[in-house]
Amino acid sequence: MRRARWVLIAFILSAGVAHADAENPAAHGKATYGLAGCGLGSLVFGDQKGAIQILAATSNTTFGTQTFGITTGTSNCVDTAAGSAGAKIFIEGNREALAKDAARGSGETITTLTAMAGCKDAKAVGTALQKHFTQLFPQQTPAEQVSQNVLKELRSDSSLECRKIG
Amino acid sequence: MPGVRAALIALATCSTAPALAAEVARADPAYLPELLASAKEKSLAEARAWLRLGHWRKRLLGGWESEADGPGLFLSPQGKRDPAAELEATLTGFFAAGDGAPSGDSKLADPSLEHPQCRFPARFAFLAGALQIDPARLPPRSCPRFEAFWRRVSARSATLIFSSYYLNSPASAFGHTFLRLGKDEVASSGERLDLIDQAVDFAAIANTPNAVLYAFEGLFGFFRGEFSARPYFYKVREYADYESRDLWEYDLSLDQRQLGMLVAHLWELGQTWFDYYYVTENCSYQILGALEAADPKLDLLSHVGVATLPSDSVKALFANPGLVRGVRYRPSARTQLAARTAGLSGGDLDAVQQLAEGDDSAGLGAMPTDERVRVVDAALDLVDVRHGRDIVTGSDPRADRLRQHLLETRSAIGVPSPPLNIPPPAAGGPERGHGSLRLGLGGGASREEGALFLAEGRMALHDLADPPAGFSPRTQLEFFKVRLSAADRPGAVRLEEASLVEVTSLNPIDRFEQRVSWKMRVGATRVADAGCDRCVAGFLAVGGGPGMVSADGTFSAALTADAELLGAPDLHGLSGSPVRPGIGPGLLLRLLAGDRGALVGTGTWRWLPSASPETTYELGLEARLHLGPVSLAARGRAAPRAHDLGLLLLMYRD
């Protein structure tokens, strides 16, 4: 009897959560990788909601895809060496933070991007990204498009002297 | 490209890099028996460095067992329980013929198909040093995949990162720890380029969206824990930005040899998994284990208790003198918002709030440029604190539009924002926190029982009156607390309280954020009213309501609407049943006197429908004086059938 009650409670609790997660691809192991390049949303968060999200923050659990496995991972979103490929990964993974720094004309992501692209001066890069913000970061643009825009801007403005993204 | 391995071996053997023209040379099979004999003679299988590389620990009943649960860390079928067999299999494997690396450069190739030298570069480096392996007779192989990892990491430093509590989720007061392998690159302007370093994490791979199963599996080791590596910026964005957790960074003084061993060993660990136990063999435990393998001189795991709290793992670093060479602090999104709004006038704050709610009538046009910059910058941070996660996952188009509009407004101002310099909080990092285990002894008096002897214990972690250094000032999180009393007559040792979990989260209601304060408690308590004759009842209570915390944290308060459920065979509960629900208000007040003292007052009143009695109450007051490793506590309580006072000495231990 007592056991039956416990099973019932467990069932009710789990039903509520299972429902909340029914449309969560990450929780069911279907990675959304590829749709958003190296974007944060799909790679880091999946779409965990509610109780699971809090538990994940508590118990340090991930609903990991294999993207970041040390020996098994893909190299697509992990290599941050200077150059075009690394800069692209950096821009996509920091899309929101970079947009904010670009609008502000300064910040850590701009300093880092400047070094990765081999540009001469972070201040000049910040000014350029701020000036062309609306073209570079249009609303609801996929991260991959943003990285193309930004790299193109850095390449085309010869005064920035970005030497590592050829 | 044998350069990486040559360098690693050179580091391990403390000699100059051996000439590796022998890349194409074949291993000399006659050399293997010599090495095996030499290893036996030197008892290498019992060497600390070897045991740590295999994560073997002494078993209770003798012998060894590795904590690694996946087969990938062993070449011998007996490897998990037999360090000597694994050593033999490893040396034998190093002589294996064949190319080793799987054909093609597929990164998803099965690592177990690789040559043992490439699977176990840290073992190779250790054995090459310990046995003085002659590279002419056992030529090191080329290992393209490991070398790619080595280059990607380019480690010049190692840092342990502690991610602190997650606001509104006090359970994460435990925090999280992971490693950062630093490239130590610096911008021409002098700033550190930490974001492009690699972070190495050990985390459980969850496989169920069911919260009940999830909690159960996490506690009892049903999840697999695996090591992973990704650019540090993913971690910064996830923890500091979207979960608003401050990051503490502890730079470790590892030399190039130890760093090389760490990277090589992490590569080895990447091939296996460990059963993940939320409380014991968790992220912090395995990170410390990896560090111990990299430098056998370190003593880290011996400094953490049965439960490995992330904060204790930070203290374990400090228990090795000289290991931490610097501490840095990376403020979370919420901390940055607080810094941006700190200097703003009331009118500016109104403007920030309006902007963050999409109201453009804030009168930006009339402001001088630098004021406009400060206001829009603060509004941007506020939008991110409120909607950051939705924006990243794209689940709220309205928040997207709001943010985009503010970004465009900000970019149109056309001047750069000055850097935001935020000093670390005065409460300090987790290394300053009190020990999580607390024991208390003392005496008291009760109107009902007379003189009392009092004893109590708590496994973890922190309550609102404990020494505040190193903890969130707003969070109580306690596991396994027991309070006993003994009156001066035979057979009068009694359980007063046994709590499994007790949580309080104080959240200030301020102009920008309206989050409720809440509390939760599960356990057993002695009934202090006429509901039964002082029986012990199972107890579940929750409550929520508005709270406030003064700017410096000195004064805090919360008024909550509570609901509770008691159950005991003798209880006169709902309609005569043994179950007694109750509802009513709760009040919590706290006054802190710096690091030295705390005063906490609590009060509850309950309506108990269809029960006898129909109402009950409890008032409590506790004062604490913190005297270094111990604290003095004075507490009083008034309830319908309990009026007592107690004085206790509390001791904290890690």
What pLDDT, in 10s, does the model give residues B155-182? 999 999 999 865 555 556 678 899 999 9
ipTM score of the complex?
A: 0.87
Residues of chain B found within 8 Å of residue A102, distances taken between Cβ atoms: 411
Q: Which tops the pLDDT comparison, B516 or A16?
A: B516
Q: What is the mean pLDDT of residues B93-119?
A: 70
Q: Is the pLDDT of residue A105 over 90?
A: yes
Structure tokens at A42: 């799909």
* Model confidence pLDDT, tens digit, residues B253-280: 999 999 999 999 999 999 999 988 877 8
Question: Which of helix, strand or coil describes residue B208?
Answer: coil
What per-residue confidence (pLDDT) applies to B461? 87
Q: Give the per-residue pLDDT at B550.
A: 86
Nearest by CB to A78, from B210, B230, B237: name it. Answer: B230
CA distance B202 to chain A (A): 9
Query: What DSSP line would sit under B314-334, residue for residue?
Result: HHHHHTSTTSEEEEEEE--HH
Q: Can you say whether residue A103 is alpha, beta or left, with left for phi > 0 and alpha for psi between -120 and 50 degrees?
A: alpha
In terms of Cβ atoms closer than 10 Å to its own Cβ (0-12, 13-18, 19+), residue B535 is middle
Q: What integer is the mean pLDDT of B58-79?
A: 93
Mean pLDDT of chain B: 89
Dihedral angle over CA of B152, B154, B158, B163, nearest 10 = -30
On the CB side of B368, CA atoms within 13 Å amount to 2
Percent of chain B with pLDDT over 90: 67
Cα diameter, chain A = 78
Mean pLDDT throughout A53-79?
Answer: 65
Measured between CA atoms, the residue of chain B closest to residue A79 is B152
> How large is the angle between the packed helices B369-393 and B333-342, nearest 10 degrees?
160
Q: Other C-beta atoms within 10 Å of A115: how many? A: 24
pLDDT at B36: 97
Q: What is the pLDDT of residue A123?
A: 96
Mean pLDDT calculated for residue range B288-304: 94
Contacts of A50 in chain B (CB under 8 A): 211
Q: List B residues 235-264 in contact with A (Cβ-Cβ < 8 A).
A: 237-238, 241-243
Whether chain A has a CB inside 8 Å of the CB on B618: the answer is no
Pick the closest to residue B18 from B132, B114, B108, B110 (CA basis).
B132
Q: Which of B417, B475, B505, B518 to mutate to test the interface with A (most CBs of A within 10 A)?
A: B417
Lowest model confidence (mean pLDDT) among A11-15, A42-46, B262-266, B445-449: A11-15
Q: Is B199 helix (H, G, I), strand (E, B) or coil?
A: strand
Q: Which residue of A has its CA nearest to B182?
A: A80
H-run or E-run covering B127: helix B121-130
* Interchain proximity A62–B209, CB inside 8 Å: no
Of residues B545, B548, B529, the one with CA closest to residue B537:
B529
Q: Print burial letters for B224-235: b (CB count within 10 Å at least 16), e (below 16).
A: bbbbbbbbbbbb
The answer to whether A7 contacts chain B (CB < 8 Å) is: no
What is the Cα–Cα distance from A1 to B620, expressed in whole angstroms? Answer: 38
Q: What is the pLDDT of residues B566-610, one digit of tens each?
A: 999 999 999 989 999 999 999 999 999 988 999 999 999 999 999
Q: What is the pLDDT of residue A69?
A: 82
Helices then strands, each counted (H, E), chain A? 9, 1
**Which amino acid is residue B576, in one-letter code?**
G
**B327-338 tens-digit pLDDT:** 999 999 989 999
Q: What is the H or E stretch that residue A158 is in? A: none
Q: Mutate which of A2, A49, A60 to disrupt the B interface (most B C-beta within 10 Å)?
A: A60
Three-state DSSP state, B461 = strand
Residue in B267, B397, B411 nearest the CB of A70:
B267
C-alpha closest to that of B42 among B120, B123, B127, B116: B127
Strand partners, B526: B536
What percentage of chain B carries pLDDT values higher than 70?
Answer: 91
pLDDT band at B9 (very low <50, low <70, confident <90, very high): low
Look at residue A16 and tell me whether its pLDDT is greater than 60: no
Q: What is the pLDDT of residues B484-541, one digit of tens each?
A: 999 887 777 999 999 998 989 898 888 888 889 999 999 999 999 999 988 999 999 9
Widest CA span of chain B, in angstroms? 90
More reliable by pLDDT, B141 or B318: B318
CB contact under 8 A, A99 and B407: yes
Size (chain B), residues = 654
Mean pLDDT is lowest, of A89-93, B16-20, B127-131, B547-551, for: B16-20
Q: Would you call A79 and B152 a contact, using CB atoms and an 8 Å cutoff?
A: yes
Check residues B538 and A79 and name the one with the higher pLDDT. Answer: B538
DSSP state letter for B433: S
State how far residue B146 is from chain A, nearest Cα, in angstroms.
Answer: 8
Which residue out of A70, A109, A130, A147 would a mutagenesis test of the B interface target, given it has the greatest number of B Cβ atoms within 10 Å? A70
Q: Is the pLDDT of residue B21 over 60?
A: no
Task: Give how far A92 is from chain B: nearest CA, Å.
Answer: 10
- Reported as a single tens digit per residue, the pLDDT across B380-404 is 999 999 998 888 878 889 999 999 9
Q: What span, in angstroms and rounded, lies between the C-alpha atoms of A32 and A35?
A: 6
